[in-house]
Structure 1
């Protein structure tokens, strides 16, 4: 199998439990890892440190996907339409810089595509899009208990009231892109 069709996207749209659950259902996505990026303190941050809002990191996911099945552009369209890219440092009740809307690009091509996608989806929102587009510096994998969170905790209140409705929105808007 050739691996040159495998790419990685790194995005943050609020709580990584939500974005992870969304992309685990997308055709062509091979792996989704929750983690942290964009901080300004040295070393591998912990979830507790991230939640303090003092490290500057965002909760993000890294999506490993097959471009023969789904494009980077489609990944970003799904991302931009399954969270609110118009709220600065907030998704629903989750507030703080760790919940910012962000696309971390891995190369100039990804940067250009991100800029195009943001412009394309802009007319669908009443308020301006505040999604940050920045180069990926470092990705830190989150602790084990944060991986596959929704799959392992579907009955938990946050999952039922926040993530399950996001998945319903995904299924409504992007049924043709789902596994």
Structure 2
């Protein structure tokens, strides 16, 4: 395995869903639930859920680009959430659930913009993609009990009825990327 590590930060609704998928992919070295993009200097779950902190629920990935590319990370991202709904994923409603890609460098910005433009050109979705592409700002790790939430709470109702189907969908679409594949 290479010694090279890069980071990606994505928001696509509840961070439990994203973390549950990405934590199982080959090349993902670390997957952390957190908050990003807001103005509050000390966000926590309650503040973020109020929608007033400005933060989105996100996952920050540390990955090996020789095992999984940034484009492949984006392909998974756009397959496991609805990038056409503003500030909403299913029953999760509010700006904290917005679809957003926080880029860490110019290459990520350009790749994300080109990826979205390609989705739009090919009319992959019936509605316009509203995913925000913004520089990473004000990132904070979520509280410890949010980390590995699905793994630690698979029978919790939200996990069983919302998270598990997203993991299954990702596994159906990207099974070769999963560690257990």
Q: Could you say which TM-score interval applies, normalised by the shorter chain? A: over 0.9
Aligned to 1:164: 164
**Does the 8 A contact of 2:39 with 2:138 survive in 1?**
no
1:108 aligns with 2:106: yes
Count the aligned residue pairs. 177
Aligned to 2:37: 38
Structure 2-normalised TM-score? 0.95
Aligned to 2:10: 11
1:57 aligns with 2:59: no
**Does the 8 A contact of 1:14 with 1:101 survive in 2?**
yes
Question: Aligned partners of 1:164 and 1:121: how far apart in 2?
Answer: 26
Question: Aligned partners of 2:6 and 2:42: how far apart in 1?
Answer: 24
Deviation readout 1:56-102 (Å, 9 max, x if unpaired): 10000100100110101110111011100000000000000000000
Structure 1 moving runs of 4+ over 6 Å: none
Structure 1-normalised TM-score? 0.96
Question: Aligned partners of 2:136 and 2:127: how far apart in 1?
Answer: 26
RMSD after superposition? 1.1
Question: Aligned partners of 1:138 and 1:74: how far apart in 2?
Answer: 25
